[in-house]
Chain A
Amino acid sequence: MKALRKQLDKIKPNFQKGGKFEKLHSTFDAFETFLFVPDKTTRTGSHIRDSIDLKRTMSAVIIAMIPALLFGIWNTGYQHYLSLGQDPGFLPIVGYGLMKVLPIIVVSYAAGLGVEFIFAQYRGHEVNEGYLVSGMLIPLVMPVDVPLWMVAVASIFAVVIGKEAFGGTGMNVFNPALLARAFIFFAYPAKITGDTIWTGGLSTGEGVVDGFSGATPLGNAAAGAMDKIPSMYDLFFGFIPGSIGETSKIAILLGALILIVTGIGSWRIMLSGLLGGITMTLIFNAFAANEYMTLSPLTQIMMGSFLFGMVFMATDPVTAAQTDKGKWIYGFLAGFFAIMIRVFNPAYPEGTMLAILLMNAFAPLIDHYVVEANIRKRIKRAVTVVKS
């Protein structure tokens, strides 16, 4: 440790103002602070500070995503061999999963972080850790057969247009990871819809056993094939096709638990999102105009990316509503619209992504009204005092 610290201190002047590599200051700083928590002390205000920083915050979110990621890797292999009608055992399944998923993660991080570093350098500030989460979320919401170049383009789009154009981390309106997915969705619709993209190798025409369609539960539901929706057991544990991280509900709930216990993710958004989804489903159940509308709330919630979206996407502190009251409204509507879009939109089976992006756009408005109520209360209080 000491030798490393010495070496860093030795080369540090090169990266500071006037040094040889002055232009790489942000990059050096990012790596230095990754290795060592800085020796900076408090100057003004509180003399002591909480041990938490943005790195720790983001690490907590990443740790929360690990169960979903690990299951996603396994399930990628599992679905692949299922389509081939083979059962080669645990290791080859995980091996195949790693082979498919790891490159997506690497590309997502490399492309996104590359842009982040360039912008930090250009703007002369420190590299923000926000992308550490986005970079992991992007692979988790991708179909496994997505072309890598597309992941790269989408990641760059998400960072440049989604984040930096609005002023960088903390200023963005839309969740970057969802934006990356939406980008592919609108730019290359063929690559993110249909039945064949969810299972590794299916889209490239590898042999398929009879009876394997590759369709996701939502795909089946949208097609009216309610009888083909997998059992609640499969839905809950995630032995189904779908985006890499979305299938296992138990892994997602484990992540939710970590987020709530650490206090990083908003339980208000998660809970109200769930309530919103259930409410919409119950309304559908009451009308029951078609078979899709008769699905139970539990089935709706267990299908698709609903839970994943509510736990990991809707809770993004920057793009969600910021006030506690606002979070209830925001979460509820996100869940509400997710089910509504899912059932009504004929073009695409899932509605979570669009619902959350829509609510991202409305979050500032919700906050505005919540804060406005507080302001009105204060003004009214002042007026009553003057009158009395």
Chain B
Amino acid sequence: MPKTINLNRGLNISITGEADKSLKEAVALHYAIKPTDFIGVFPRMLVAEGAPVKAGTPLFIDKYRENICFVSPVSGTVSEIKRGDKRVLLEVRIEPDGKNESEQFGKADPSALSKPEITEKLLKSGLWSMIRQRPYGIIANPDQTPKAIHISAFDTAPLAPDYDYIVKGKGEQFQAGINALAKLTAGKVHLNISNRTSAGEFLNCRNVELTTFKGPHPAGNVGIQIHHIDPINKGEVVWFAGVQDVIAIGSLFTEGIYNAEIVVALAGSEVLKTGYLKTRRGACISKMVENNVKEGDLRYISGNVLTGTQIRRDNFIGFYDSLITVIPEGNYHEFFGWALPGFNKLSFSRTYFSWLSPKRKYTVDTNLHGGERALVMTGQFEKVLPMDIYPMQLIKAALSENIELMENLGMYEVEPEDLALCEFIDTSKTEIQAIVRQGLETLRKEMS
């Protein structure tokens, strides 16, 4: 029996539009790799517009870590290299040619390979970018050996995809991916499951340390799990990867190619037909939402409503995301909104009468529900952060860029996503995730 860790603090936000358990093939006219998905990466282009590429052909590398490359998810041609202000590289767009050609990296049994051989293979195929590290949430450093590698096999965020469903039939690849990762760490590979996890692919996984987590969101966040299994101390590095990242890494060894196929959930109150879609990393969402969303001003999010990235309806799924959420925009005035009884208003507090019906699901929009104010309330953030960390003090340390204090208060143990619920419930409407990211970047620059 795996060890069970019970988390009491947190909040499950129940909103409408959960993805239906049906799998469909999705069409995408374009694919794109967005350098903005990768924290701290300065891209240097390797291909020009019009160049033919196969799945696995490098598109650009990181200027500061030249062995880390980013590859095309599909065979086709580079149709556009999109730049923004100050010529910042925003997207490298690929138009698929339908041939499904792949670069060949050679099949292998990861259990028979050494650490350098596996590292080499992952770097060459561009799949190294799927292994990230804590602290900072950046792509892992291939020269380091982490104290452990963590994989969260469940997601507790609102409308999150069900990985039990996604992993079905991919047990072989998942196991191969685990075997490869196990060679990279001196410690263990931790597979963190939920008490509701039922997929045999996870439960019977070998070469891992299973830990069961029970509790509301953010129990599914890998940062929360690391904190409870073996917290990160100053100077330590822990790696993590998503379930579909592990599957892709596994396919590299079982198939010898970069198999960019992923399953994403299409969810949200404004989606007419929700469900799971089979597509590739970086797919354009326009065909998926075409004639499939309600009328009105909508927000398209790659990821979940708490931590995802806003994208346009003709834009692309984020590299690490397995979810597309569509919710209504909230750009309206509400007459005496703050004074109404609020039987239908979603709130963590019990200041609206909606707390009398705890089971109901809400249709939420992007309205801020108030103006930005000074931080007044205390003792609230603690209720949704199941960590031995003082969130308010940490946020203030980040605001004042006090490096030592941030270190002491546990900044290395968090990512913005771990404090997303604090931001959600904050009465002062402070941009907490942005503050945490800024604080982490300050630390990263100071330490490098």
Where the two chains meet, the residues of A that have a C-beta atom closer than 8 Å to any C-beta of B are 1, 4-5, 29, 33, 35-57, 59-60, 126, 128-130, 168-171, 261-264, 266, 268, 317-318, 320, 322-324, 327, 367, 371, 374-375, 377-379, 381-382, 385
Q: Is the pair B368, A38 in contact by a Cβ cutoff of 8 Å?
A: yes
Within the complex, which residue of A36, A126, A367 is in contact with B334, where a contact is CB–CB below 8 Å? A36
**What would be 26 A-B contacts, judged by CB atoms less than 8 Å apart?**
A37-B337, A37-B369, A40-B368, A41-B366, A45-B434, A46-B307, A46-B424, A47-B305, A48-B158, A49-B368, A50-B348, A50-B424, A51-B342, A52-B425, A52-B427, A54-B371, A56-B339, A56-B427, A170-B373, A170-B428, A262-B351, A263-B380, A268-B379, A317-B377, A327-B379, A375-B408
B431 at the interface (CB under 8 A from A): yes
CB distance from A387 to the nearest CB of B (A): 12
B329 at the interface (CB under 8 A from A): yes
Q: Point out the residues of chain A lying under 8 angstroms from B392, CB to CB.
A: 322
Q: Point out the residues of chain B lying under 8 angstroms from A171, CB to CB.
A: 374
CA distance A55 to B15 in the complex (A): 24
Within the complex, which residue of A53, A129, A381 is in contact with B429, where a contact is CB–CB below 8 Å? A53
Within the complex, which residue of A35, A49, A322 is in contact with B335, where a contact is CB–CB below 8 Å? A35
Within the complex, which residue of A47, A168, A261 is in contact with B301, where a contact is CB–CB below 8 Å? A47
Q: Is the pair A53, B377 in contact by a Cβ cutoff of 8 Å?
A: no
Q: Point out the residues of chain B lying under 8 angstroms from A129, CB to CB.
A: 373
Within the complex, which residue of B337, B351, B408, B431 is in contact with A57, where a contact is CB–CB below 8 Å? B351
Query: Quick one: closest B residue to A263, CB to CB?
Result: B349
CB distance from B428 to the nearest CB of A (A): 6
Q: Is the pair B349, A49 in contact by a Cβ cutoff of 8 Å?
A: no
B393 at the interface (CB under 8 A from A): yes
CA distance A369 to B130 in the complex (A): 41
Given contacts A38-B370, A47-B308, contact A59 B338 (CB under 8 A): yes
Q: Is the pair A53, B331 in contact by a Cβ cutoff of 8 Å?
A: no
Within the complex, which residue of A57, A322, A323, A367 is in contact with B427, where a contact is CB–CB below 8 Å? A57
B171 at the interface (CB under 8 A from A): no
B310 at the interface (CB under 8 A from A): yes
Query: Quick one: closest B residue to A169, CB to CB?
Result: B374
Q: Point out the residues of chain B lying under 8 angstroms from A170, CB to CB.
A: 373-376, 428
Count of residues in B whose CB is under 8 Å from the partner chain = 76
Q: Is the pair B434, A44 in contact by a Cβ cutoff of 8 Å?
A: yes
Q: Is the pair A42, B390 in contact by a Cβ cutoff of 8 Å?
A: no
- Most chain B Cβ neighbours within 10 Å, of A268, A324, A385: A385
From 319 to 358 in chain B, residues with beta carbon under 8 angstroms from any chain A beta carbon are 325, 327, 329-339, 342, 345-352
Q: Point out the residues of chain B lying under 8 angstroms from A37, CB to CB.
A: 333-334, 336-338, 367, 369-370
Q: Is the pair B331, A41 in contact by a Cβ cutoff of 8 Å?
A: yes
Query: Quick one: closest A residue to B377, CB to CB?
Result: A317
CB distance from B314 to the nearest CB of A (A): 19
Q: Point out the residues of chain B lying under 8 angstroms from A168, CB to CB.
A: 374
CA distance A54 to B429 in the complex (A): 9
B382 at the interface (CB under 8 A from A): yes
Q: Point out the residues of chain B lying under 8 angstroms from A128, CB to CB.
A: 373-374, 376
Q: Point out the residues of chain B lying under 8 angstroms from A266, CB to CB.
A: 379
**Of B24-32, B72-80, B231-239, which stretch is located at the interface?**
B231-239
B244 at the interface (CB under 8 A from A): no
Query: Quick one: closest A residue to B330, CB to CB?
Result: A41
CA distance A36 to B393 in the complex (A): 32
B53 at the interface (CB under 8 A from A): no
B423 at the interface (CB under 8 A from A): yes
Q: Is the pair B333, A323 in contact by a Cβ cutoff of 8 Å?
A: no
B196-220 vs A, CB cutoff 8 Å, 1 = contact: the mask equals 0000000000000000000000000
Given contacts A37-B333, A128-B374, contact A47 B366 (CB under 8 A): yes
Apart from the given pairs A41-B366, A45-B423, A385-B233, 12 other A-B contacts in the complex at a CB distance below 8 Å: A38-B370, A46-B420, A47-B301, A49-B370, A51-B346, A57-B376, A59-B339, A170-B376, A318-B376, A322-B379, A323-B379, A382-B235
CA distance A368 to B309 in the complex (A): 37
Q: Point out the residues of chain B lying under 8 angstroms from A48, CB to CB.
A: 13, 15, 158, 305-306, 327, 346, 364-366, 424
Q: Is the pair A1, B335 in contact by a Cβ cutoff of 8 Å?
A: yes
B433 at the interface (CB under 8 A from A): yes
Complex A-B, nearest 10 residue pairs according to Cβ-Cβ distance, in ascending order? A53-B370, A170-B374, A37-B337, A382-B233, A45-B433, A51-B345, A36-B333, A322-B378, A37-B334, A55-B338
CA distance A39 to B332 in the complex (A): 4
Q: Point out the residues of chain B lying under 8 angstroms from A385, CB to CB.
A: 233, 236
From 371 to 429 in chain B, residues with beta carbon under 8 angstroms from any chain A beta carbon are 371-380, 382, 388-390, 392-393, 408-410, 416, 420, 423-429
Q: Is the pair A264, B351 in contact by a Cβ cutoff of 8 Å?
A: yes
CB distance from B218 to the nearest CB of A (A): 12
B299 at the interface (CB under 8 A from A): yes
Within the complex, which residue of B350, B382, B393 is in contact with A324, where a contact is CB–CB below 8 Å? B382
CA distance A118 to B299 in the complex (A): 38
CA distance A63 to B396 in the complex (A): 31
Q: Is the pair B231, A381 in contact by a Cβ cutoff of 8 Å?
A: yes
